[in-house]
Amino acid sequence: MESDTKLNQQNPFLDGTHDPSLISWLDSANGHPFFSIHNLPFGVFKDSDGIRRCGVAIGDYVINLHKLWADRPFTGKAGEGLEALNDTSLNRFMSLGREVSKAFRQSLSKALTSGSKWESSIRKTLMPMSEVSLCLPCHIDDYTDFYTSIHHATSVGKLFRPDNPLLPNYQWLPIGYHGRASSIHPSGTQVYRPVGQCLNPTTQTPELTATAKLDYEVELGIFVGRPTPAFEAVAIEQAEQHFFGVCMLNDWSARDIQAWEYQPLGPFLSKNFMSSISPWVVTAEALAPFRLPPTRYANRPKVPSLESYENSVFGGFDIQMTCHLRTAQMRKNGIPAKKLSQTSFKHAFWTINQMLSHHTQTGCNLNSGDLLGSGTQSGPNAAEAGSLLEITRGGQDSIALPGNEFRGFLEDGDEIELSGFCESENGLRIGLGSVVGRIAPAFSSPHLSKQAGE
């Protein structure tokens, strides 16, 4: 009974910007699959002079916030937000916290609504999305990758430890490792097949080679907003204040390099060559209608330091995540991409606020623009598996593609597209957009030629 009462609680994160009946004066925004007036995600683009500017995606257009700033349409907290957005990255805006991002969203939503006196002001700032070159949305000082899908952790664990797939710590704390921020690239950046040391299964000796087991990982990227102070743990109740927004993240992985190097300290070169992110950051505010109680897993132990009332009612997010593959041959023959999986972030075992709070438990500080990866997201069913490692059971099986092609892992020329969107029962729909990466052959490596005795 208690859980029913909780479910009926009014969602305190909702406001007028989530009204399904809102109509914009910008036609392409109405019914747009990703960038409706209910979304208003932030990104950074290069203007015609090559200068980075902050923007908001709306319909088929991008609002140039530098130009909007010149008109000073907003006052109070929203005006403060626009001042911070007149910059070359989102970091300053992110650091101001949720009060400012909420106020800015409310003002921008009003300005974009039919009948707004700011229509002509905003029209002057619009650039067609197709003509805009998008960059990373912020400086990412640090990147941490979690492992929050219990379905992924269990299937991968089964491959390595059939008798003991899930280690006992999994249900007690969010597992993660510190990743590499320097090699996070925006969508569209080519993915060079990495060269690394792998164990030759025939000779049982390690050899330097281009990876034969290149994989993708379907992940949600989570951006830190207001920074957390050093030497202070953020309580789960306060974690929300440091959550800015989300993007799609592809954590490219070389499974053969990983298998040889990962013990005892975890993944290293198998993950550090590249991760790709979608260019638009969908804010915590925009995600409000898609909050839900986290999935209740049976026999889950109680971890008081990571539990709160708010987290138990609104800590989860129903964010649909899809993965599509298109090979070079499919592109040549005009065959559309094949969907490999679709799942929802609602299946995650740990929530965003639990990841944020846990990360600071020792007093480790988080900076504005830091990125947390959710870990590969897989749902309870086979069609919801977020990596080839799971779909092909480590390459033992293969996926049949149209045109009589088969894949165990990725081949050169393959293109992976991860997309995200949210839909509510009352007809709201927003999208995260997508992150795309195409595999290129390994670049020539001085290490390789040395091995060949050149």
Chain contacts with Mn ion (rule: CB under 5 A): 145, 217, 251
For the bound state, the minimum distance from the C-beta of residue 147 to Mn ion, rounded and expressed in Å, comes to: 7
Closer of 74 and 170 to Mn ion (Cβ): 170
**Least distance from C-beta 262 to Mn ion, angstroms?**
12
Amino acid at 364: C
Burial of 265 (0-12, 13-18, 19+ CB in 10 A): exposed
- Choose among 53, 22, 25: nearest CA to 127: 53
Give least dist CB 387 to Mn ion, A: 9
CB nearer to Mn ion: give 294 or 373.
373
Number of H helices, E strands in the chain: 15, 26
User: For residues 176 and 369, which CB has a smaller minimum distance to Mn ion in the complex?
Assistant: 176
Contact 319, 292 (CB under 8 A): no
151 or 291, CB closer to Mn ion?
151
Residue 152 a catalytic site member: yes
Q: Which is nearer to Mn ion, 251 or 261 (CB)?
A: 251
Smallest separation, CB 437 to Mn ion (Å): 14
d(CA 5, CA 1): 6
Of 66, 61, 71, 57, residue with least CA distance to 88: 66
> Residue 453, by phi and psi: left (phi above 0), alpha (psi -120 to 50) or beta?
left
Q: Residues 152, 242, 358, 359: which is the catalytic one? A: 152
* Choice between 125 and 351, CB closer to Mn ion: 351
* Contact predicate 82/69, CB 8 Å: yes
Closest CA to 420 of 43, 34, 17: 34
For Mn ion, give the closer residue by CB, 104 or 273.
273
Min dist CB 162 to Mn ion, Å, is 22
Are the C-beta atoms of 43 and 281 separated by less than 8 Å?
yes
Q: What is the spatial distance between Cα 361 and Cα 359, in angstroms, rounded to a whole number?
A: 6
Q: Which is nearer to Mn ion, 69 or 345 (CB)?
A: 345
Smallest distance, Mn ion to C-beta of residue 267, A: 8
Residue nearest to Mn ion (CB): 251
Q: How far apart are the first and last CA of the chain?
A: 73
Burial of 341 (0-12, 13-18, 19+ CB in 10 A): buried
- Tell me the C-alpha distance between 276 and 221, whole Å: 10
DSSP H/E element including 373: strand 371-373
Q: Are 289 and 428 in contact (CB under 8 A)?
A: yes
Non-local (6+) Cβ contacts of 32 within 8 A are 59, 60
Least distance between Mn ion and beta carbon 123 (Å) = 42
In the complex, the smallest distance separating the C-beta of residue 44 from Mn ion, rounded to whole angstroms, is 24
User: Closest by alpha carbon to 42, among 256, 280, 396?
Assistant: 280
Residues marked as catalytic? 152
